[in-house]
Amino acid sequence: MQKDTTIVAYGEEEEDFYLHHQYRTKPFERTSHVHRTYEIYYQILGQRNYFIKDRTYPVGPGDLVFVDKYEVHKASDCGPPGQERIVLNFSDGYACANGGLLPPEVFELFRARPPVYRMKPQEQIFAQSLFDKMTREIVRKEPGFEAYLRILLIELLLFSSRLMRSRTAPEDGKPNAVHQKVSRIVQHINEHYSEPLSLRETARLFHLSPYYVSRTFKEVTGFTFVEYVNLTRIKEAQRLLRETNGKIIEIAAAVGMENIGHFDRTFKKITKMTPFGYRKMHRQQRGQASR
């Protein structure tokens, strides 16, 4: 019986370049994600549901998924166990997004809807060859391997951008009634996160029972109602910490979290950093980039 196997693990998701290729035999649900890097997710074996922003998309073998930076997303199981996938994350600086080799329109990949591209067999072979080359470079670490990783990423982005532009019609079917209801609830949270939000009141607003909302929200998005509300609030708090000079207590209130202790605990649980540490890190990064 085949065991869970990590084929390659390089870097961290919040760093400039991260690659993780893994095969799993048991059910697995990724933790909720919001990060400053772009993400490319390639499904090799098995079936997954991928929640991005306010919708869930089915993902199967040969599918590429593109997630924009600072976008809420989460992959969860559907179908029998047995999953193999590759996750690649990279920053603007790593891909030379600002004044580099890549034209700006390439990054429209990460804002396209649907964000999933189902590759044809020949396209899968080519994409897999690029990932295989990255793996070899990481394993061997020969002189210049980091430069070659960057070149391979640029090639993957150009290849993927051309695939997306060649797509003549959306590939995701019309969502069913349950998905439509959950999508409307997600949009409501996205628009009203700064206000008091409870499961009971939200269910009443949509003329549904709290039990139904709780169960279907988790089934469709992979999040509990409270998890998604907290993640949406912390995502906005991250933006305010990066882009404004507001006091942390003011930012907590602006995202609907009046209790500063609860805000600090929730922020650290989701980001693995304190709000102060997060702001300090981004200010240091801006200072280094301006030199």
Task: State which of 173-182, 243-252, 266-275 shows the largest mean pLDDT.
Answer: 243-252
Q: Which residue has the higher pLDDT, 62 or 288?
A: 62
Range list for CATH 1.10.10.60 in the chain: 177-289
Domain 5-166 has CATH 2.60.120.280: yes
Farthest-apart Cα atoms in the chain, separation = 62
CB atoms within 10 A of CB 271: 19
Of 181, 199, 222, which Cα lies nearest the Cα of 58? 222
Joined together, the tokens standing for residue 139 give: 């394993």
Query: Model-level pTM?
Result: 0.76
Q: What is the C-alpha separation between 232 and 188, in angstroms, rounded?
A: 11
User: Looking at the predicted structure, is the pLDDT value of residue 173 above 70?
Assistant: no
Q: What is the C-alpha separation between 239 and 251, in angstroms, rounded?
A: 10
Range list for CATH 2.60.120.280 in the chain: 5-166
Residue 176: pLDDT band with limits 50, 70, 90: confident
Q: Look up the CATH architecture of domain 177-289.
A: Orthogonal Bundle (1.10)
